[in-house]
Amino acid sequence: MKKEKIRNLIDIKDFSVKEIDELIKVANDIITNREKYSHKCDGKILATLFFEPSTRTRLSFESAMLRLGGKVLGFSEAGSSSTAKGETLGDTIETVSGYADIIAMRHPKEGAPVVASKRASVPIINAGDGGHNHPTQTLTDLLTISREKKRLNNLTIGLCGDLKFGRTIHSIISAMSRYDNIKFILISPDELKLPDYTITEVLEKNNIEYVETNNLEEYMSDLDILYMTRVQKERFFNEADYLRLKDYYILDRKKLDNAKKDLCIMHPLPRVSEINPDVDDDPRAKYFTQAHNGVYIRMALILKLLEVK
Amino acid sequence: MNIDTIENGYVIDHITSGNAIKIYRLLDLENIECQVALITNVKSKKTKTKDLLKIGKLIDIDLDKIAFIDPDVTVNVVKNNKIIKKQKLQLPEKLINVCKCNNPRCITSIERNLDQVFNLTDKDKKIYRCHYCETTLEKDKFLY
């Protein structure tokens, strides 16, 4: 039976700004005092249920739990789960709830974590649901911004690439809209613009300043953060559209000529061609640091949801 | 045109022209065993024209479905040839199994035994979103 008051992370808005600040504080403490946390989850099991392939997110969850002293079980594609035999998601989740203390789930269908949370008797973490939400990526992004810029307010943030299907984009806009004096520069081809509802119900509703452009360099000198994204092949029904749009933006050293000295360049990874490798040596490139931060914030999240002090 | 009065049942009045057929379909009135009159483009003082639905039996009707299509209608309940109740409707906060989500990426497209749920997220603009994937419900494309 479902326990009372189980906390889940389905959408970044499930957590208050205060709770996110606390998670960032714990993650920072983990970074400086890793040994202190290495047995916090002894005897606990994390199930990683990945109905859609992912390397980074799954491994970072597994690394997070292992670094906390816990154990991990799970699958990395739907083909190796009972889904291939026709089992519903709800049944899979109810079963796995008896095998693990916490579940991190990625699913290609949007809203799948809502279904999972109704059936689970342990906390559910949304590790990405289709083009919808990816809240732990957002927590990773917030930790990275907080560490690199020493603040989460007063920022001009450029979001570039697939703003239509990019779940990391929707989540980070939703999260950053709760901080003061945030301005977004939305850089995308017309076909991959931010959905109207995100503009009306998040940006305009919260009086957030934004500009839409399809020119990557136009506002480069204004940016404190440049968040690049990949055009995701798996989100297109038509391959011709994907091929036409995949190389629309390629960030290279030259395009950074007018950028601020303390610009923070981020990317949820994996990248394909949207960031030229010649940017990697630039001290402003923070995407690998960002990927590493993902482990620490997930450690903090697991501790919070399992109520481990 | 003469339509008989009804002894027991409902008269759904003040339906915006064109909406009666949608209510008829959504309530699945073609499969009930009683007289149903669907009258369109009736002269109206307020709106020039309106639609009207008469159902000749006191069946269970889902008022949320009617309100979803047209919250401005009046549902008159008729018993023994008398109107015993005039019911005004309100846009429902939640729609359960009234519409299907038409986002092919939504979990409702594959998960069996799952209620189709939409939440009213903007009362002024009458916007409903899928409870699961948050896709906006396109009112003219509902599938039930």
Of how many residues is chain A composed?
309
Tens digit of pLDDT for each residue in A30-77? 999 999 999 999 999 999 999 998 888 999 999 999 999 999 999 988
What interface predicted TM-score (ipTM) does this complex get? 0.85
Look-up: residue for tokens 């690394």?
A63
Q: How much is the CA Rg of chain B, to the nearest whole Å?
A: 16
Where do the domains of chain B lie, and which CATH numbers do they carry? Answer: 9-88 (3.30.70.140), 94-141 (2.30.30.20)
pLDDT band, very low/low/confident/very high, at A1 (cuts 50, 70, 90):
very low
Best residue in A110, A117, A126 for a mutation probing chain B (most B CBs within 10 Å): A110
The 10s digit of each residue's pLDDT in B56-109 is 999 999 999 999 999 999 999 999 999 999 999 999 999 998 888 989 999 999
**Candidates A110, A131, A201; nearest CB to B107:** A110
- In chain B, what residues touch A107 (CB-CB under 8 Å)? 107
Asked if the model's pLDDT at residue A236 lies above 80, the reply is: no
Would you call A204 an interface residue with chain B, using a CB distance cutoff of 8 Å? no
Which residues in chain B have their CB less than 8 angstroms from residue A114's CB?
107, 131-132
% of residues, chain B, pLDDT over 90: 72
Cα(A105)–Cα(A92) distance, rounded to whole angstroms?
A: 11
- Whether the domain at A12-133+292-305 and the domain at A136-287 fall into the same CATH topology: yes
Helices (H) and strands (E) in chain B, counts: 2, 8
Q: Where does the pLDDT of residue A181 fall: very low under 50, low under 70, confident under 90, or very high at 90 and above?
A: very high
Nearest-by-Cβ selection for B105 from A109, A114, A115: A109
φ, ψ of residue A20 to 5 degrees: the values are -65, -40
What does the pLDDT read at residue B140? 62
Please list the alpha-helical segments (H only) found in A68-189.
89-96, 112-119, 135-149, 167-176
Domain A136-287 fold is: Rossmann fold (3.40.50)
> Hey, how many other C-beta atoms are within 10 angstroms of the C-beta on A180?
9
Cα A250 versus chain centre, distance = 21
Helix (H, G, I), strand (E, B) or coil at B41: strand
B141 Cα to chain A: minimum distance (Å): 18
Minimum CA–CA partner of B137 in chain A: A197
* Interface membership of A195 toward B (CB under 8 Å): no
- Res B130: pLDDT: 95
Cβ of residue A109 closer than 8 Å to a chain B Cβ: yes
* CA–CA min distance A131, chain B (Å): 8
Q: What is the pLDDT of residues B46-60, one digit of tens each?
A: 888 999 999 999 999
Write the CB contacts of A31 (distance below 8 Å, at least 6 apart in sequence): A296
CB contact under 8 A, B105 and A197: no
Helix, strand, or coil here: B102? Answer: coil
User: Structure tokens of A118?
Assistant: 């109704």
Closest Cβ opposite residue B107 in set A111, A131, A197: A111
A-interface mutation test, from B133, B135, B136, most A Cβ less than 10 A away:
B133
Q: CB distance from A114 to chain B under 8 Å?
A: yes
A205 Cβ contact partners less than 8 Å away, ≥ 6 residues apart? none
Check A110 against B112: CB less than 8 A apart: no
- Mean residue pLDDT of chain A comes to 93
pLDDT tens, position by position, A213-230: 999 999 999 999 999 998
Q: What percentage of residues in chain A have a pLDDT greater than 70?
A: 96
User: Which CATH fold would you assign to the domain A12-133+292-305?
Assistant: Rossmann fold (3.40.50)
Structure tokens at A201: 């119900």
What is the domain partition of chain A in residue ranges? 12-133+292-305, 136-287
